[in-house]
Amino acid sequence: MSEQDPRADTTTAPAAAGGHAAATPRQRYPQPLLPRNLRNWMMVWYRNYMVWKKLAIPSMIGNLADPMIYLFGLGLGLGLMVGQVNGVSYIAFLAAGTTASSVMMSASFESMYSAFSRMHVQRTWEAIMHAPLTLGDVVLGEIAWAASKAVLSGLAIMLVAGALGYAQMPGALLALPVIVLAGIAFAALAMTVTALAPSYDFFMFYQTLVMTPMLLLSGVFFPLEQLPEGVQAATKVLPLAHAVALIRPLMLGRPSEDVGLHLAVLGAYAMVALVVCLMLLRRRLLR
């Protein structure tokens, strides 16, 4: 009798202590990969919410500190030198860009550091998947939770800007659906990085090589028209640039252009990144 391939996925396992068979990876992680239904992921979202609620105030302060520093530090300081940009004060121009960038930052950090802790360090995902939930339920719940935190961050900055007269309220609230879609897209992209990360240090590559250039080249701090034509063409593939292009006109009370294109790009990023991260996580967790 030939020796069995150790990589084979067998349906039987040696008896463990107490006479119970040891669970194989496919038995531990329910199938199919996709969400089992339209409700299960909400339980994952609710579990994360209940944990976050205990530290809600420090968490919100941490998420808002960085964008607020950019908004008031650059907006008030540099704004005195720049004056107006595209017919509005620089701080009003920056407030809309900061709203979009805070969505990216909040969704990305939640999907990377916090989700990685639950998946790899605390093994919360493994515990959840012993219930009748699939990996798809868990990942969709994590992405929805990261997007929810991104909406809180973006909405908070929008309300502050509106209270100070830097955003046209209540019309600016029409940007909320865009913030939700952008949050999902950035959360799904970051979850793909989490699926590949061997440790927390890996996330620095994504922050330095992807998030920082996107922050500087997407029209957050200055109009895209100031960039060379070749760079302007490259920004058309950046999801943050499309989010800024949708959020800024709504916050400034101006008509939006190419709405369908911007929404399609953000939607495509969300869908493709979701599929890719599911495939990568399946391979990681079932190997």
- More confident: 28 or 96: 96
Amino acid (one-letter) located at 108: S
Question: Degrees (nearest 5) of the Cα angle 220, 222, 228?
Answer: 115
The pLDDT of residue 250 is above 60: yes
Is residue 21 a part of any domain in this protein? no
- pLDDT bin (cut points 50, 70, 90) of residue 243 is very high
pLDDT tens profile 154-203:
998 999 889 888 899 988 999 999 999 999 999 999 999 999 999 999 99
Query: What sign has the CA pseudo-torsion 157, 139, 124, 112?
Result: negative
Backbone angles phi, psi at 88, to 5 degrees: -130, 165
pLDDT value of residue 245: 95
Amino acid (one-letter) located at 210: V
| Rounded alpha-carbon distances, angstroms, from residue 36 to 49, 146, 227, 229 | 21, 20, 46, 46
The pLDDT of residue 277 is above 70: yes
Is residue 8 a part of any domain in this protein? no
Is residue 24 a part of any domain in this protein? no
Whether omega for the bond prior to residue 58 falls within 30 degrees of 0, making it cis, is: no
The pLDDT of residue 93 is above 70: yes
Domains in the chain, number: 1
Is residue 48 a part of any domain in this protein? yes
Is residue 16 a part of any domain in this protein? no
pLDDT tens profile 17-76:
444 444 544 444 445 566 767 788 999 999 999 999 888 888 777 777 777 777 777 777
Query: What is the average per-residue pLDDT within 218-224?
Result: 91
In angstroms, the CA 141 to CA 42 distance is: 6
In angstroms, the CA 232 to CA 225 distance is: 7
Is residue 191 a part of any domain in this protein? yes
pLDDT value of residue 238: 95
Average pLDDT for the chain: 85
Name the residue range of residue 140's domain. Answer: 40-286
Is residue 271 a part of any domain in this protein? yes
- More confident: 155 or 15: 155
Amino acid (one-letter) located at 225: E
Is residue 268 a part of any domain in this protein? yes
